[in-house]
Amino acid sequence: MAGVALLARDLGHTVTGSDQKVYPPMSTQLEAQGITLLEGYEPSHLDSKPDLVVIGNALSRGNKLVEAVLDSGVSYTSGAQWIADNVLRDRWVLAVAGTHGKTTTSSLLAWILDHAGKQPGFIIGGVPENFAVSARLGKSPLFVIEADEYDTAFFDKRSKFLHYRPRTAILNNLEFDHADIFSDLKDIQRQFHHFVRTIPRRGKLIVNGQDKALADVLEMGCWSSVDYFAGKNGWTAQPLKPDGSRFRVLLNEREQGDVDWQLIGAHSMHNGLAAIAAAHHAGVEPAKAIEALASFRSIKRRLEVRGVVNGVTVYDDFAHHPTAIATTLSALRAHVGNARILAVLELRSNTMRMGVHRDTLAGSLALADQVLMLKPTNINWNVERVTSTLKGYGRVFPTVDAILEALKGDLKPQDHVLIMSNGGFENIHSRLLERLQV
C-alpha cells in the first residue's frame, strides 16, 4: 500500500494514508517522500473528504474507518484494482508470483531492466536499495509488479494477482501458506491456475522447473509458451562459490556468463535466473542482465546487515515460513562457515499463529547454533513443543526484553544474530545493537 501511495502521488494526486504501528522501511520511505500518514483508523480521517479511498486487504468489516467509509458513501476500491485501472492498462506487465522470493526477484528484474536502459515502472513489497523506493511509474511500457496470491480486499476475495494481467509472469515456487484464507495447497493452486489463464498466447511463463506444485498447476491448463529455470534444462546455475556469491548462468547448457554479486544462497541464484529469463523475454540480452546483477544492492529486510558491534553481526530478514527460514539459514551458514549463528524468531504470521507449520518449524532451524523464539500472547498451540525437539539449543521467551537480556549475556565476537519476522519485532534489531555498544 505504500507503493500504491507513491504511484498515486506521482500521478498528481494528493495522498494521505491511515495505518497503525507502521515500521521501517515503509514508514521511513513514506516520510521521506512527503506522504502524510495518520495513525490508527479513526473516522475523522475522512474529514478531508477524499475523492477515493483505497482499502488494503488487512482491513475488514468492523474496522472503524471501514465502517465510516461505507456509511459515508465515498467511492472506494482495492489497492490491486486501483493499480490495474490507473497504472497497468496498456503496459507490458512483468509479474512475479510464488510463495517465496517475490520481493527479491521483482527487485532483481526491475534493476536488470533499468540497467539495460529500459526505464521500467515497478511496485514491490519491499525497498530495493538500488532505487530507495518501493514503487515508481517509470518512463517505458514495461512495469514490474510483485504478484501476491493473498486475497484482494474484504469485498473482493480473489487473489490480488488476478487483477494484473501480465505478458510476462514468473512462477517462482508454490507451497501451502496463508492458512487463514486457504484450506490447503490445492486451494492455492486453483488461484495460480486462474492466474495462468490471464497470460495471453503471446505471453511467457517463467517457471521453476524443480517445483512439483507448479507442474501440477500447468497440467490444469496452459495457453502460453513456457521457459523453465532451476531444473534440468532451460536456465540453470552452476555455483562457482559454495555460498552462491558467484555462479555461472547457462541456457540449455550453453554458458551465458558468470554472476559475481552481493547475494548469497541457492535461492538467490534461482531468483537471479528467473529475473534474467523474464528480462530476456522483454528484450534484454543475458550478458547485459548478468552485468546488472553485479551492481545489485539487495533489499531491505532480506538478510540485511543492520550493524556490526564488537564483532557481532546483526541481520534482519523477512523469513516467516519454515522453507524461507531454512533457506535463509542455509545461505548464511554457507557464508559464515563454522561461526555461531543465533536465530531469533517471531511467530507473527497468521499461518504460524494457527500452528500449521509447528511440525516442520524445528527442522527448518537445524542449522542454527541457538534458537530464541518469542511466544505470542494470542497463540493456541504449545510453542515449547518446537523448542523441546531442538536438543537443548532452543528457548522460548515471553517478551522481547527477555530475548535481548539473554542475547547480551551470551553473544561473543564473530557471532551472527539472524532476526526473522514479517513485522517490526518491537525494533529488536536497533535495541540489540544499542545494548551491544554498552
Q: What is the pLDDT of residues 285-296, one digit of tens each?
A: 999 999 999 999
Per residue in 12-43, pLDDT (tens digit) is: 999 999 998 777 777 788 888 888 888 899 99
pLDDT band at 381, cuts 50/70/90? Answer: confident
Cα separation, 190 vs 221, in Å, equals 11
Sheet holding 312-317, edge to edge: 304-309, 312-317, 416-420, 341-346, 370-374, 394-397
> What is the arithmetic mean of pLDDT over 163-192?
90
Answer whether residue 378 shows pLDDT above 80.
Answer: no
Determine which helix (DSSP H) or strand (DSSP E) holds 208, and give its type and residue range: strand 204-208
Rounded mean pLDDT, 405-413: 91
Question: How far is residue 253's CA from residue 232's CA, in Å, rounded to a whole number?
Answer: 9
What are the backbone angles phi and psi of residue 211, rounded to the nearest 5°?
A: -95, 110
The closest of 287, 252, 249 to 271, measured between CA atoms, is 249
Q: What is the mean pLDDT of the chain?
A: 91
- 122 versus 375: the higher-pLDDT residue is 122
Q: What is the pLDDT, as a whole number, of residue 408?
A: 87
Whether the pLDDT of residue 275 is over 90: the answer is yes
Could you give the percent of the chain with pLDDT greater than 90? 66
Residue 21's region, left for phi above 0, alpha for psi from -120 to 50, else beta, is: left
* CA pair distance 122, 138, nearest whole angstrom: 7
Does residue 233 or residue 301 have the better pLDDT? Answer: 233
How many whole angstroms separate alpha carbon 383 and alpha carbon 300? 29
Helix axes 102-115, 286-293, angle to 10 degrees: 110
Strands 121-123 and 135-136: antiparallel
> In whole angstroms, what is the distance from residue 331 CA to residue 125 CA?
22
Taking CA atoms, 206 is separated from 209, 297, 430, in Å, by 9, 23, 38
Three-state SS string over 5-51 comes to: HHHHHHCCCCCEEEECCCCCCHHHHHHHCCCEEEECCCHHHHCCCCC
Q: How confident is the model at residue 353 (pLDDT cuts 50, 70, 90)?
A: low
Q: Which pLDDT band holds residue 387 (cuts at 50, 70, 90)?
A: confident
pLDDT digits (tens, 9 = 90+) for 47-64: 999 999 999 998 999 999
Q: Strands 156-159 and 151-153: what pairing?
A: antiparallel
Q: Domains of the chain (ranges plus CATH)? A: 2-79 (3.40.50.720), 81-293 (3.40.1190.10), 304-437 (3.90.190.20)
What does the block give as the cell for 70? 461505507
Give the per-residue pLDDT at 299: 78
Q: Whose CA is closest to 126, among 348, 321, 300, 5?
A: 300
- The confidence band for 266, taking pLDDT boundaries of 50, 70 and 90, is confident
* Helix or strand (DSSP H, E) at 80: helix 79-83
Rounded distance between C-alpha atoms, residue 349 and residue 422, angstroms: 7
For 209-260, the pLDDT digits (tens) are 999 999 999 999 999 999 999 988 899 999 999 888 999 999 999 999 999 9
Q: What is the pLDDT of residues 70-124, one digit of tens each?
A: 999 999 999 999 999 999 999 999 999 998 889 999 999 999 999 999 999 999 9
